[in-house]
Amino acid sequence: MNQTSGQSTAFGISIGLAFVGGYADASSFLLARTFTGHLTGNCVLAAVSVASKEWHLVLDRFSAVIAFLAGIILSLVLNRFVPVHLRPYSLASAMFIEVLIFIGACAFLTIRTTPELFIGSMCLALGIQNGALHSTKGVSVHSTYMTGMVTTLTQKAFDHYSAKRNSEGDSSKSSTHVTIQTLASMWMTFILGALAGALMVSAFHSIGTLGIVLPLIVLIVAEIKEKSSVD
């Protein structure tokens, strides 16, 4: 497989994971009133819950933060200590673990256990995803939350379109264009995933979370196929 084809596959996987991140975050908020894909929202919501003395929500939201951080650490451990010959498949392994955890999260809701188990599972899965994917096309990315990426996108777009006639070299302009294209694509796909997750959960309630499994399976197959071709 040539380099361009490999980059295209990696970019497609990043876009797919942005869709997964949006889908999971929207569906979990509808089902448990807690964000599961990032820390900022949950920290703010936890503070609001403390102020309003809604202690059960405080537990849910702080457990979400802890589980998300645990997922990141688990992903880093997986990448660090996996045998060298399996390291190219670390992202595929992380996505496979995600699939299992998402299925477990759906099962927790279906059998009507405490919401903390559902929230913890979703946050753990998205923490793993966030830790497993760091960049695409040389651009630093996050597939589970968009705040920092949208800020970077806005800054890059402003600099690019307000200073077209400056002395920047062609390589610098090309790099900026790639960054804008990458971040804008992931942002739009994240929103599309959030819309899909909201619609599926609204229509099928907890079973709607299983809609996230199919795109992950497709991404796993694509990642394994790409890495196998390189080897």
Looking at residue 4, its pLDDT comes to 59
Side-chain half-sphere CA neighbours of 103 within 13 A: 10
Residues of the chain with pLDDT under 70: 1-6, 113, 163-173, 230-231
Contact 76, 183 (CB under 8 A): no
Question: Which tens digit of pLDDT belongs to each residue from 128-148?
Answer: 999 888 888 778 888 888 887
Provide the token pair at 104: 């477990």
- CATH number of the domain within which 57 lies: 1.20.1250
Name the residue range of residue 207's domain.
Answer: 3-230
Provide the token pair at 152: 């970077």
Residue 92 DSSP SS3: helix
Looking at residue 216, its pLDDT comes to 96
Phi and psi, residue 114, nearest 5°:
-65, 145
Provide the token pair at 125: 């899965």
Angle at the Cα of 83 (from 79 to 84), degrees rounded to 5?
A: 85
Phi and psi, residue 140, nearest 5°:
-70, 125
Report if pTM > 0.85: yes
Provide the token pair at 41: 């929202």
Number of domains within the chain? 1
DSSP state string for 2-28: -HHHHHHHHHHHHHHHHHHHHHHHHHH
Question: Which tens digit of pLDDT belongs to each residue from 86-100?
Answer: 778 889 999 999 999
Contact 110, 206 (CB under 8 A): yes
Looking at residue 38, its pLDDT comes to 75
Looking at residue 172, its pLDDT comes to 62
